[in-house]
Amino acid sequence: MFKNLTILDHPLIQQKLFYLRDKRTNNLNFRTMLDELAGLMVYEVTRNLPVRERSVETPLELTSGFVLAKPVTLVPILRAGLGMATGILKLIPHARVAHLGLYRDKTTLKPVEYYRKFPSDLPESEIIIIDPMLATGGSAVAAADFVKNNGGKSISFVCLVAAPEGIALFEKRHPEIPVYTAALDRELNDHGYILPGLGDAGDRIYGTE
């Protein structure tokens, strides 16, 4: 249905998503499982990162191996995206973390920027934009716009759950950017929330319901 969408259906990812959806999951457990789930997802997201060969001396002889060819920059959309960045950093500890502050206007449902900090060598980076929810698609599109306007070229977008409306908009505006998610949910409600979804990810991460 969507050319740029990959649904990560690994059993461990799907089990953790099941518990994240559960309204009885408290903030501590939500954060812990989100951290673990993000780490699992990044394996697939980084499958095709470019590598370069380097020499290495083992205790027995000289041989060769592979290292990442380009730096990795994570771009979590504040604030909920930070909840996934920690789990990804455990797998890619040398990655830089840019920051992009966006919030959705509750009346217009459009994204509003309030903070931005990117590394100077963004054009040379492999970039992963992170946000737990891809709902209307407005924030995701805006984030990709900002990254591109700052020179970003090799970009992926990662989310926990997505709505068809958001994927359709993102694919229309950024057809070359792959999107990775653990679930494509049914639809948006009248307030722009994903159904069945998992509630407000930021509130559930930080206990601000």
List phi, psi (to 5°) of 24. -80, -10
Give the pLDDT confidence score for residue 70 in this predicted structure.
94
Q: Tell me the average pLDDT of the chain.
A: 92
Q: Rounded CA gap, 76 and 83, in Å?
A: 9
Q: What is the pLDDT at residue 161?
A: 96
Topology annotation, domain 5-45+71-206: Rossmann fold (3.40.50)
Mean pLDDT for the stretch of residues 16-35: 93
Task: Give the integer Cα–Cα distance in Å for 177 and 169.
Answer: 12
Burial class (CB in 10 A: 0-12, 13-18, 19+), 2: middle
Residue 162 pLDDT exceeds 90: yes
* pLDDT tens for each residue of 86-142: 999 999 999 999 999 887 777 776 778 888 899 988 999 999 999 999 999 988 999
Q: What pLDDT is attached to residue 192?
A: 85
Query: Contact at 8 Å (CB) between 70 and 50?
Result: yes
Beta strand 51-57 with 62-68 is antiparallel
pLDDT reported for residue 200: 86
> What pLDDT score does 112 carry?
82
**Kind of pairing, strands 111-117 and 99-104?**
antiparallel
Residue ranges per structural domain of the chain = 5-45+71-206
Per-residue pLDDT for 83 more than 80? yes
Helix spans in the chain (H): 11-21, 27-45, 82-91, 138-149, 164-173, 201-206
What is the pLDDT, as a whole number, of residue 204? 87
Residue 140: the pLDDT is 93
> What would the pLDDT profile of 180-201 be if each residue is shown by its tens digit?
999 999 999 988 889 999 988 8
